[in-house]
Amino acid sequence: MPGEPLAVEEEALPLQGAYIDEKGLVRSQVFGLKVFDRYKKQVYVRQVKNIELIKPGTIVEAYVEAVTDELAFLKIYSVEGQRVEASGIIHVSQASNEFTQSLLGAIRPGDFVKAKVLNNSIPYQLTIKEPGLGVIEAYCSVCGSPLYKSNDKLVCNTCGNIEKRKTSLNYIHVSR
């Protein structure tokens, strides 16, 4: 996973897909498999692509990187439990069955979503319209705490902020 610690500076030199942070830890830059050569004292990350798994109708998990009124830009990271790395986009017309004026009323940067693939090429076009699809995990835009689903809304238990998303039935944090 990007950011995951792989080694300490003294153990191994980071090659492709790895870097040294300010504390001297070697961390991964990409999704992939860690390759640690103890004899050569080198560590690198072999990128995992697996994009052949992505087809129209495939359900993927993706991280929202940026959102405008009309388009959201995502990084697809998982297909059926397999690590992948591919770009996805969601058009405002694919966010909800209700009329959505801006995509920002449905998804926001930093959200994790479950989505269905509509096409066969990069960037993959995704839809989150169906009840099982949509945001599965989101964090408060004020304080960064997890947002909890309560009826139609997402509520921050830390600062009381209330936000709106097109959530999936599989949303992770549910208010008790």
**What residues make contact with Zn ion under the rule CB under 5 A?**
140, 142-143, 145, 156, 158-159, 161
Under the phi-then-psi rule, with left for phi > 0, alpha for psi from -120 to 50, and beta for the rest, what region is 97? alpha
Are the C-beta atoms of residues 170 and 114 closer than 8 Å to each other?
yes
- For the record, the structure tokens of 12 come out as 């191994």
User: By C-beta, is 128 or 140 nearer to Zn ion?
Assistant: 140
Q: Beta partners for 150?
A: 153
Q: What's the closest the beta carbon of residue 148 comes to Zn ion, in angstroms?
A: 10
Smallest gap, in angstroms, from Cβ of residue 147 to Zn ion?
8
* 145 is known to lie in a ligand binding site: no
103 is in an annotated binding site: no
Nearest distance from residue 167's CB to Zn ion, in Å? 17
What are the distances in angstroms from CA 2 to CA 20, 48, 110, 116, 146?
13, 12, 15, 24, 21
| 125 vs 145 by CB, closer to Zn ion | 145
Tokens at 91, concatenated: 């058009």
- CB-wise, 124 or 139, nearer to Zn ion? 139
Q: Annotated binding residues for Zn(2+), as ranges?
A: 140, 143, 156, 159
Q: Annotated binding residues, as ranges?
A: 140, 143, 156, 159
